């Protein structure tokens, strides 16, 4: 048998259902997919703000950092705009504009292909590599701070779930 308890602590009131049926009904009324989506959106915004705040100290945007990460991975290869766009975290990013801003700062070169004049070849410069090394010095500490409340197993599970979500 279930009893109803009303407990008031400061400004919080907790009502315990009278019966197991009432408890099940309350659970049925909740929209768990909507709650999960809202929490994911909030977490995504929180993460974006934390990453942006961290990268801002290097006078580049998070999207510009993403371009440099892509170019560093392909250090000795010629990279075109399409490859950069495909590797971007946000599909809404304008790769041409980002590359131009990085070129002006001296972090990348942008040259027309000799074989195909319609293609543009992009490479990370030595200055760009030095910037990435500077960022690397603080990045690990920043990442540990972000996930400090999670165990390794929870991080792996979270990563697996997020990948599963994206592979609808």
31-166 fold: Arc Repressor Mutant, subunit A (1.10.10)
Q: Quick one: pLDDT at residue 24?
A: 67
Q: Which helix (H) or strand (E) holds 63?
A: helix 62-73
Structural domain spans, the chain:
31-166
Which has the higher per-residue pLDDT, 14 or 52? 52
Task: Please name the residues in contact with 18: beta carbons below 8 A apart, sequence gap of 6 or more.
Answer: 2, 3, 4
Please write the tens of the pLDDT for every residue from 84-122: 888 887 776 788 899 999 999 999 998 887 888 778 889
> Which two structure tokens, joined as six digits, stand for 120?
């543009």
Mean per-residue pLDDT of the chain: 84
- What pLDDT shows up at residue 2? 47
What pTM did the predictor assign?
A: 0.74
Q: Find the helix or strand (DSSP H, E) in which 40 lies.
A: helix 32-56
Burial of 89 (0-12, 13-18, 19+ CB in 10 A): middle
Of the chain, the end-to-end C-alpha distance in Å amounts to 44
Q: Quick one: DSSP state of residue 107?
A: S
Question: DSSP state, 80?
Answer: -
Q: Are 80 and 122 in contact (CB under 8 A)?
A: yes
Digit-coded pLDDT (tens) for 112-143:
878 887 788 899 999 999 999 999 999 999 99
> Is residue 3 scored above 60 in pLDDT?
no
DSSP secondary structure letter of residue 79: B
Residue 83: pLDDT band (50, 70, 90) is confident
């Amino acid at each position: 048998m279930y009893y109803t308890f009303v407990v008031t602590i400061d400004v919080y009131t907790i009502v315990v259902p009278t019966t197991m049926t009432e408890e099940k009904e309350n659970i049925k009324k909740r929209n768990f997919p909507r709650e999960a989506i809202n929490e994911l959106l909030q977490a995504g915004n929180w993460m974006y703000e934390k990453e942006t705040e961290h990268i801002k100290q290097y006078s580049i945007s998070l999207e510009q950092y993403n371009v440099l990460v892509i170019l560093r991975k392909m250090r000795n290869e010629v990279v075109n705009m399409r490859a950069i766009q495909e590797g971007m975290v946000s599909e809404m990013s304008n790769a041409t504009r980002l590359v131009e801003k990085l070129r002006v700062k001296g972090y990348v070169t942008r040259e027309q292909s000799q074989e195909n004049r319609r293609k543009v070849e992009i490479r990370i410069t030595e200055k760009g590599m030095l910037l990435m090394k500077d960022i690397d010095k603080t990045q690990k500490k920043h990442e540990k701070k972000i996930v400090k409340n999670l165990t390794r197993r929870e991080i792996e599970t979270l990563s697996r779930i997020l990948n599963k979500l994206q592979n609808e």
